[in-house]
Structure 1
Amino acid sequence: MEYIAGLSADQSRTVDELGYPDHFFISFDPVSSDRVERWTYFSRGKAVDFDNGRLWGEEPIEDNAAEYPPTDLRPQDFNATLSEAEATRLLGEPLYTQEVQDSLLPENTIIVYAKAILLYREGKLIGVDTQVRPPSLPAS
């Protein structure tokens, strides 16, 4: 097995065995910087969970590949220090941005791209989700 830059030993082993995930969700704790990930493999019918890079568990899932085509993004491209400008360079121009000021999610910004949804709190990345439907644009 070859270690992949930006991935842990468990994650590198998973990529070696299963390939890169069809989709992934990453959550960063803004206080502790803990990183929790779920990698989804629709074709294999399973999701693999990691806690700070360590394999945490697996569970069966339904194959939703027809609804959510596989992403070409990689989990190692995202870290808690990824700025909004860097995200735009990686993902292209955002389709939609929403500042959230309510009491449940103070100082949060949701940014929707064609390939991912990113959540920032006070300028720090706290969430990445690549399981997004391709946008449907209104007919002209």
Structure 2
Amino acid sequence: MKKCPNCHSLNEEKSIYCGNCGYNFRTQPKSTSFRNFIVIVSVFFSAVIIGLTVYFVLNSELAAGLLSGTLTAKNELQSAKDTDQANTIQSDKSAYFLSGDQQRIAGMFGYPDSFIVMFDEGNNNKRIDCWSYIDLEASFIFEDGAYAEYSDYILEKPIAQKYDLAPQQFYYPMSASEVKYLTGEEGIETTDAITGLKQLVFGSGEIICIFNPDDILIIANKNIVKDI
């Protein structure tokens, strides 16, 4: 536990804000491991995008839809809410409940413009969330819901999307059929020739899910998420 220097109340060691007075415990960003995380994810999804490019080239109708879908999107930051409001944020469609740290970030800034959820098979399927905000030019990383890292990060503006989804609606284990039910679509299913992992893509790449062999491993929502 750590004591708040402002009101002297005790808080969890990994908390970034005091639960009593809202004092900011946040230390200097640890950018190195965050950069490594972003590089790994970027390389992985570059391979996915190459595969999608080949697919769309072979399917002119989808390619046209992809090009016409590159619309600009705006996300106005919500005003900060008090602790009680932040702790009540929850979707009626949630399968995973946001942690206290995640609730506080969502209460201050809304749901992320873009998010990635990964499950570490080698570490008890540990959940890693990366929430990115365009207007803040920043990303927050959570490990099993606990705040782990913050870093300045400039994001490309995403395209507007139709999916009304949030990070807590993805969980482990989650099958391809459950993701299809969640999105209301069948998606485009492929298998990576090198890893043999199943890939499920929705829309023009707004949502990409990776499975091994049936349970979900990675979810990447690269676009604006509406508040729910």
Taking structure 1 as the reference length, what is the TM-score of the superposition? 0.81
Kept in 2, the 8 Å contact 1:47–1:61? The answer is yes
2:120 counterpart letter in structure 1: D
Residue number in structure 2 paired with 1:117: 208
Higher mean displacement: 93-102 or 15-24: 93-102
Kept in 2, the 8 Å contact 1:3–1:9? The answer is no
Residue number in structure 2 paired with 1:128: 219
Residue 115 of structure 2 is aligned to residue 28 of structure 1:
no
Larger radius of gyration: 2
What count of residue pairs does the alignment treat as equivalent? Answer: 129
Mapped partners of 2:88, 2:100: distance in 1: 6
1:131 counterpart letter in structure 2: K
Kept in 1, the 8 Å contact 2:190–2:200? The answer is yes
Higher mean displacement: 10-19 or 92-101: 92-101
Kept in 1, the 8 Å contact 2:102–2:147? The answer is yes
Residue number in structure 1 paired with 2:105: 14
Structure 2: gaps (5+ residues): 1-82, 91-96, 224-228
Give the strand-richer structure, 1 or 2.
1
Taking structure 2 as the reference length, what is the TM-score of the superposition? 0.52
Kept in 2, the 8 Å contact 1:116–1:128? The answer is yes
- Post-superposition offset of 1:4: 3.8
Mapped partners of 2:130, 2:185: distance in 1: 25
Kept in 2, the 8 Å contact 1:34–1:52? The answer is yes
- Please, what is the CA RMSD of the aligned residues? 2.1
Q: Encode CA deviations 1:7-49: one digit per residue, 9 max, x unaligned.
A: 1111011111111101100101234110011001011111111
- Of all paired residues, the percent bearing the same amino acid is 23
Give the helix-richer structure, 1 or 2.
2
Mapped partners of 2:98, 2:187: distance in 1: 29
